[in-house]
Structure 1
Amino acid sequence: MIVYDGNKTDFLHSVERDTIAVEIENNIYNKMKRRTAANEFRSWENSLEYMYKVLNDREIPDDSGIAIEYNIPQTSKRVDFIISGFDHHDDPNIVIIELKQWDKINAIEGQDGLVETYTGNTMRKVVHPSYQAWSYSMMIKDYNSSVQTNNVQLWSCAYLHNYRRKPDDDLDKPQYEEYLKDSPAFTRGEVPQLREFIKRCIRKGDNKELIYQIDQGRIRPSKSLQNAITSMLKGNKEFIMLDEQKVVYEEILLTSRKCMEDNKKRTIIVTGGPGTGKTVVAVNALVELTNDGQFAQYISKNSAPRNVYLKKLKGKIKKSTVDNMFKGSGIYTETEKNVVDTILVDEAHRLNEKSGMYKNKGENQIKEIIHSSLCNVFFIDEHQKVTLSDIGSVEEIKKWAKVENSQIIETKLYSQFRCNGSDGYLAWIDHVLEIEDTANYDLKDIDYDFQICDSPTEMQNLIVEKNKNANRARILAGYCWNWISNGRNDSKVHDIKIGDFEISWNLGNSTTFAIDDNSINEAGCIHTSQGLEFDYVGVIIGDDLRYEDGHIVTDFTKRAKTDQSLKGIKKLYKANPVLANQKADEIIKNTYRTLMTRGMKGCYVYCVDDGLRNYLKERIKI
């Protein structure tokens, strides 16, 4: 959907009459029924004045097509500015321009394509503007049938009109070279250079015909995208399916294909505990359905599993349009009904109601995912809810499926491939932590290396030794120690201190703690390890979980102030102490249950509380 369209002459006249921002505002309300924030209105007025200056060139054809705020159909993302026309060979071309009002950025080491800038009233990590422009162009190229059929060439760039570039600028650091090459960034004082970039692509006008074609184009994956993701999966041992994983996978394919045939909405709920292969099934289904010609997406609220599995899929490939297939769960707040063929939701228990930076967008992520797709698949383990904002449950999914008139299909992954294939260990954890009463009172006949350590140093030494084999062992901890802000990218700054033992939280400049070469020297938290698996894990249990008077006791007051998992619990406690303690108890126990089931072969535990340490020692002796 295009919010504003016209030709170059129309655009220039609207800017001259000071009506361009008003026209966009009115169109957004008429087409999307959405009110425009004051800061967004000012940004149009500001940025489009600069684009007026850029286009005020006789060599850029007056009948070139102009589109502003083009909503990429399968997302809530909008392209700032588009110019369309033909080059000197009469080949169709479209130029995508990402407009930024930033006047300062900081480069970020260790995280691909990210910078830091002041936005939303604070300094935040955001994507490099060249990466953003490139990713939007590739999204259109990979999924728009008109672009594919008519061989429309897409060109992209960024225009930071307030940004004063300097020698060796952070904007131009070597880690951004690949994106700057494909999508150059133009800054303050570089109007002539931006004009030349446009004129290399647009020599003849099209009277916005190409923009119309794109707006009407059907969504389908390109052959090149299908080939790319298929080649990544082929022979990748990380994604080999076993036994019932294959059964569930085939059920998903059958159901999704049926949706495409009869155009009826269906919701598949796949329940399964830790290590049952939910992600492996999801990624395999993503690849196969894309090869069917479907527009399919893999979704997770938590970025850690998404980033790690994407990296495992891509291998050493840094820049790939496959990235656009892996998205966060809050992208469907403004999408229309059934715009995506199949959405595969991993870690569905982590879904939230509201989306956005300030949790002020949308109504309910589960509802929006079901509404936006013809077929939707939710992979869920209700015992892995670990924050107050997690709303994912089987009943919640069923409720919204009924609202959306979507047929509900339920299936389950039983065999546990983590913990040496033993469901018994997981049942024992549930019993020990008093999550539920199970028959597994002890670890007898369970082939799993579980040890209680007398010191965190002992646990660390065991994990470091195990990690030497295949870089598949990690230290994890409950969130009972503050994350020191001025040392988030420095492993020498130790956030966790227990006696003479010290270690840093996982670094803030990496999104792939689980597979980074040096992250053995850091401790991961629930947010960087949930949904992932290792061979061995060492778990530090903080003071939020203790053993007193013959029972497991949880204490939310011992959680770190920097932890957002229990945000709002103090307010809830004042209003309803019983409910607050009940919710906190569930979240804290689920957190340690999740951490203690990340290892496929073994788990080594150190407890800060002496009582809990002695209790667990007694339980493994029985």
Structure 2
Amino acid sequence: MHLYSASVPDFIKATREGTLVSRLVSAFEQGQSLAPTSSEQKAWRHSLPPLAAVLDDASFERAYIFLELQMPLSSHRCDALLVGRSARGGRPSAVVVELKQWTHAGRSAIPDTVSLGSRTLLHPSAQARGYADFLHHYHSAFTSSDAEIHACAYLHNLEAPAVLGLLRASHVFGPLTRDVPLFAQADAPLLREYLKDCIGAGDGGPLSEAIRSGQAQPSEKLLDVLIQAVEGHFEWRLLDEQRVAFNTITTHVEQAQRSGGKAVIVVRGGPGTGKSVLAIQLLAHAARHQWRIAHAVGSKAFQTVLQAKTEAFATEMLKRIYNVRYQNRLPLRKMFSTFADIAGVGAREENTFDLVVGDEAHRLWNYRRAKFQNFERQLSNTPMVDEMIRASRVTALFLDDNQTVRADEVGTLEHIRSHAESLRVPVTVVDLNAQFRCSGSESYMQWVDHALGFHAPRSLQWREFQGYDFTLVGSMQEMQERLEAKRRLGNKCRIAAGFCWRWSPPKDNGELVHDVSHPSFSGWSAPWIEKTGRDLVPTQHQYFKWATDEAYFSQVGSIYSIQGFEFDYIGVIFGPDLVWREAAWQADLEKNRDTAFRRDLKRSGTDGTERLRNIYRVLLTRGMRGTLVYFIDHQTRARFEALLQP
């Protein structure tokens, strides 16, 4: 996906004629289903002419340009990609060019970032390097050829020598601008010579066509590379805000170790913005540096699978981190723990950990408690978040305000900030906005949010999901057949549903009860995820088996088994507990069979509409490549059908 591609001479001509920006706007609306922001249009209007002026040279007559090229498997876009042949050997070659209108920038305490007013932003050269690295590893035009790829930054409005000196300072940014050059306003001739060396020595047509017709290479799904990542043999390639968040957290840990201070970092992002990847990468980084690290997660299913994947080496790794011989001397017995486990440590002792990483922190409770079969008991009168902050020098909490499921979940930014401030611990907030799930389709995520009433997107017009496959199926048989076809092609698929049916234990002979049935299914039925019990080791638990073993495709998952996971294709049964009536969403709790959910709602005095919208938002955004949906309620289906119309 890209908004514009042409030969460099055609690009220069369109820039001079003043038609380029309108073409970019039109392409953006066609591909994104919404209009570009005024700031995006301003950037095109002011940054592309200076680039065109640099490229106005005979050396680039056979070169090509892509504008707003979307990164594979992500919603990030690079400003420009130039394609030609290298002067060093004549190989096919490309250059990522990051364009900035900056006239000033200040020093930041976070590595590879600068301060721009109140914002902390990635250094332009680091941003360009990230895009080039992503294309090199995930775009077939580069993974399946010997094509070179380079990167640079062009700050065409920057004149201040002091700012330029800061941005190029090796004592601040190391070899960054040596490897990825940064050019200012007066450096246009130097930029031209650099580009001549990279792409000015021959025909860029073949590589340009390979980029235009290329495919995204399969991404490293979290569970597939979890062990390598935790052991330090694999790192995800972090882009833009992801890199800022990672560097912010690691820098605060280093500062806290030196000064003895404390900090809370809240990382906010919707589904698919890379929160769990960041959390695991932080765990691996901390282990390599012998930091006393704890990782906690709000989802029992996600925690169980992480434990099962790493149980063969987790205990010995924790012993090395904490420098103890016996497991009973560890502050936590498991590498992947719960919020209650961390809070329990904080109730006993302060600053046991250098870093606590709390994934899915929107699922925090008010107070630590023990949960039993038919009742629960409060274990502390101190708020859980206070105990967690007390347990560690740095507490990094990853959350999405619109993923809270139960009425007793309180993990919002406001809740965390108020408690941290009462403890006199400073709070830093980093927002993740890019999309790495759903084929990087930001428009799909915005459309789902609009359909479920979270917010109105910049445009209500529907066009397409940037290659993301979204289908309303007419029957459960159709959903089953479509997913089976995807599975035969090697895709990982699951079916999940709203909790609208009872969940029965297996029969005496081990056969599962097909609780998930309905007259509208026309004979199709399926069992819920197998009920294997509470006290099994992680590798025998139903959550681990359902998430990792394709033999369990026939079992239907719920919000509790799917939150935190991703699959190539997800089939969703949209139950009758959330319906569209009189231009609004309404909860019908008589159709919901989640006893604990209904009990919590009754205790909180809420009707459940908000929580049910959150639940279906999670279910609809678990797919990497596609989502298939069957609606039991006809009016609710009509709501979605109407939003699909152009």
Assess same fold via TM > 0.5.
Answer: yes
Spell out, residue by residue over 1:197-237, the C-alpha distance to the aligned partner (whole angstroms, 9 max, x if none).
Answer: xxxxxxxxxxxxxxxxxxxxxxxxxxxxxxx9777544557
1:437 and 2:437 aligned: no
Q: Give the superposition deviation at 1:566.
A: 3.0
In structure 1, the partner of 2:618 is 594
In structure 2, the partner of 1:254 is 251
Give the conservation status (yes or no) of the 8 Å contact 2:506–2:530.
no
Matches of 1:531 and 1:490, distance apart in 2 = 28
Letter in 2 for 1:291: R
**Structure 1 gap ranges (5+):** 1-227, 574-579
Letter in 2 for 1:266: A
In structure 2, the partner of 1:478 is 498
In structure 1, the partner of 2:581 is 548
1:360 and 2:387 aligned: no
| 1:507–1:240 distance in 2 versus 1, CA, 3 Å | farther
In structure 1, the partner of 2:305 is 308
* Greater relative contact order, per chain length (Cα 8 Å cut-off, separation 6+): 2
Spell out, residue by residue over 1:525-556, the C-alpha distance to the aligned partner (whole angstroms, 9 max, x if none).
Answer: 10111111111110001111222233332222
Paired positions, count? 384
Q: Give the superposition deviation at 1:438.
A: 2.4
Letter in 2 for 1:285: L
1:282 alignment partner, one of 279, 283, 302: 279
| 1:543–1:439 distance in 2 versus 1, CA, 3 Å | same
In structure 1, the partner of 2:630 is 606
In structure 1, the partner of 2:599 is 567
In structure 2, the partner of 1:417 is 436
Letter in 2 for 1:286: L
| Superposition map of 1:439-588 within 5 A | 439-447=458-466, 448-470=468-490, 472-487=492-507, 492-499=512-519, 500-509=523-532, 510-512=542-544, 513-560=546-593, 562-570=594-602, 573=605, 580-581=606-607, 584-588=608-612
Q: Give the superposition deviation at 1:303.
A: 1.8
2:398 alignment partner, one of 350, 366, 379: 379
Matches of 2:304 and 2:388, distance apart in 1 = 20
1:389 and 2:408 aligned: yes
Matches of 1:243 and 1:491, distance apart in 2 = 49
In structure 1, the partner of 2:187 is none
Spell out, residue by residue over 1:426-456, the C-alpha distance to the aligned partner (whole angstroms, 9 max, x if none).
Answer: 1111111122222342441422111111112
Spell out, residue by residue over 1:311-334, the C-alpha distance to the aligned partner (whole angstroms, 9 max, x if none).
Answer: 4557x8798655722101111233
Give the conservation status (yes or no) of the 8 Å contact 1:268–1:409.
yes
| 1:489–1:471 distance in 2 versus 1, CA, 3 Å | farther
| Superposition map of 1:130-279 within 5 A | 232-236=230-234, 239-279=236-276
2:291 alignment partner, one of 282, 286, 294: 294
In structure 1, the partner of 2:642 is 618
Matches of 1:395 and 1:231, distance apart in 2 = 32
In structure 2, the partner of 1:7 is none
**Structure 2 gap ranges (5+):** 1-225, 319-332, 533-541
TM-score, structure 2 length as denominator? 0.56
In structure 2, the partner of 1:326 is 336
Q: Give the superposition deviation at 1:488.
A: 11
Give the conservation status (yes or no) of the 8 Å contact 2:408–2:600.
no
TM-score, structure 1 length as denominator? 0.58
1:340 alignment partner, one of 342, 353, 366: 353
In structure 2, the partner of 1:17 is none
Give the conservation status (yes or no) of the 8 Å contact 2:585–2:609.
no
Matches of 2:409 and 2:498, distance apart in 1 = 18
Give the conservation status (yes or no) of the 8 Å contact 1:489–1:508.
no
Matches of 1:415 and 1:319, distance apart in 2 = 35
Matches of 2:360 and 2:377, distance apart in 1 = 19
| 1:438–1:265 distance in 2 versus 1, CA, 3 Å | same
Letter in 1 for 2:528: W
Q: Give the superposition deviation at 1:475.
A: 0.5
Letter in 2 for 1:592: Y
Matches of 2:309 and 2:645, distance apart in 1 = 39
Q: Give the superposition deviation at 1:403.
A: 1.9
Give the conservation status (yes or no) of the 8 Å contact 2:306–2:336.
no
SS, match of residue 568 in structure 1: helix
| 1:468–1:232 distance in 2 versus 1, CA, 3 Å | farther
Q: Give the superposition deviation at 1:570.
A: 3.5
Matches of 1:282 and 1:259, distance apart in 2 = 19
| 1:559–1:350 distance in 2 versus 1, CA, 3 Å | same
